[in-house]
């Protein structure tokens, strides 16, 4: 979070009170980041409201505030176009769940944004203050490839920074798979051996990142079930999660974990990507 120098705040034209702007002010008050307010609406003029919000922010001590109204072909393309042009390292947007039937037929706009946006995205779901709340970071400790290792480091680092900002505690969840008799590796054929391997990986992970034993949670099962369950147990105000940015037919049929859990989580969700994924998405956006 300390590296964030420019924040794109996506305002909702249908809701006057912006949860996204509340979170942006909290982060900018610590990082001194510039705030760029974006209203995505092709039907109405919001210039008066944007000017008023900009003036209020400057009166509140936020000196670097800009704003605009824009619309391209769709919501996520508009946001990404502005994010790229303005050089924003963080997009903050309020998330409102789609109708289940609509979600079954069409890929939700927020899912498309999470897949294609070349920077971190904070989806705001709650008005609950972060102060004093727990922060949950979701990682796959058993995945040892370098790309995932760097993503894990980013997830934990952001989790610690948010916990310091909120004066709360960081908890880490890692789900390990259930046994599969058909697995080529014998380790993954028995529950005890799977858990043992993950526990060993977790011990090294704890030592590397200074995570207390009672703040690391390892459990068997699918991540999209365990992450919301642990969030409720920990009463977390923010969950930090990474995505592999799956797209195309595979993304449509399977989805990414962050997309699947987005509606199931009660608190805010910060979605991060690896440096390689962000570079690839930035090239695609250009």
pLDDT digits (tens, 9 = 90+) for 51-74: 999 999 999 999 999 999 999 989
Residue 64 is classified by DSSP as -
What are the Cα distances from residue 282, in Å, to 60, 252, 267?
A: 33, 21, 28
Residues 86-97: what's their mean pLDDT?
Answer: 93
Kindly report the backbone phi and psi dihedral angles of residue 106, in degrees, each rounded to the nearest multiple of 5, phi listed first.
-130, 140
SS3 255: coil
Q: Which position has the token pair 């034993």?
A: 213
- Contact assessment for residue 278 and residue 243, using Cβ atoms and an 8 Å cutoff: no
Run of H or E residues at 21: helix 19-31
pLDDT for 32: 94
Between 78 and 184, where is the model more confident?
78
State which of 105-109, 169-173, 240-244 shows the largest mean pLDDT: 169-173
The answer to whether residue 159 scores a pLDDT higher than 80 is: yes
Weakest mean pLDDT among 104-108, 132-136, 155-159, 256-260: 104-108
pLDDT score at 235: 95
pLDDT (tens digit, 9 = 90+) per residue, 4-34? 999 999 998 887 678 999 999 999 999 999 9
Domains of the chain (ranges; CATH) run 6-94 (3.40.50.620), 134-285 (3.40.50.12370)
Separation CA 272–CA 118 (nearest Å)? 9
Average pLDDT over residues 242-255: 50
Q: How far is Cα 167 from Cα 130, in angstroms, rounded to an integer?
A: 8
Q: Pick the most confident of 41-45, 156-160, 171-175, 274-278.
A: 156-160
Please report the pLDDT score of residue 252 as a whole number. Answer: 38
- Among 106, 94, 89, residue whose Cα is nearest residue 40: 94
Element (H, E) at 227: helix 223-234
Q: What is the CA radius of gyration of the chain?
A: 19
Q: Which residue has the higher pLDDT, 202 or 102?
A: 202
Task: Tell me the percentage of the chain whose pLDDT exceeds 70.
Answer: 85
Question: Percentage of the chain surpassing pLDDT 90?
Answer: 51
Mean pLDDT of 133-155: 86
């Amino acid at each position: 979070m300390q590296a964030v120098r420019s924040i794109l705040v996506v305002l909702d034209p249908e809701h006057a009170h912006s949860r996204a702007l509340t979170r942006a002010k909290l982060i900018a008050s610590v990082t001194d980041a510039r705030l760029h307010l974006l209203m995505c609406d092709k039907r109405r003029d919001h210039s008066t409201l944007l000017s008023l919000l900009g003036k209020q922010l400057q009166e509140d001590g936020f000196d670097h505030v800009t704003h605009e109204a824009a619309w391209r072909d769709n919501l996520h393309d508009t946001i990404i176009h502005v994010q790229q042009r303005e050089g924003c390292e963080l997009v903050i947007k309020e998330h409102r769940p789609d109708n289940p039937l609509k979600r079954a037929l069409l890929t939700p706009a927020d899912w498309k944004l999470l897949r294609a946006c070349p920077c971190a995205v904070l989806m705001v779901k709650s008005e609950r203050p972060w102060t004093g709340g727990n922060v949950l970071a979701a990682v796959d400790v058993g995945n040892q490839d370098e790309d995932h290792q760097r993503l894990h480091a980013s997830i934990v680092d952001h989790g610690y920074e948010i916990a310091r900002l909120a004066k709360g505690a960081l908890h880490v969840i890692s789900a390990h798979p259930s046994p599969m008799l058909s697995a080529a590796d014998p380790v993954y054929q028995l529950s005890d051996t799977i858990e043992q391997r993950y526990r060993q990986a977790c011990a090294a992970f704890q030592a590397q990142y200074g995570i207390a034993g009672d703040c690391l949670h390892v459990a068997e099962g699918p991540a999209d079930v365990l992450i919301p369950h642990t969030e409720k147990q920990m009463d977390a105000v923010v969950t930090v999660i990474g995505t592999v940015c799956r797209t195309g037919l595979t993304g449509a049929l399977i989805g990414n974990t962050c997309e699947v859990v987005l509606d199931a989580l009660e608190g805010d969700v910060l979605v991060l990507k690896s440096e390689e994924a962000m570079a690839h998405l930035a090239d695609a956006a250009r």
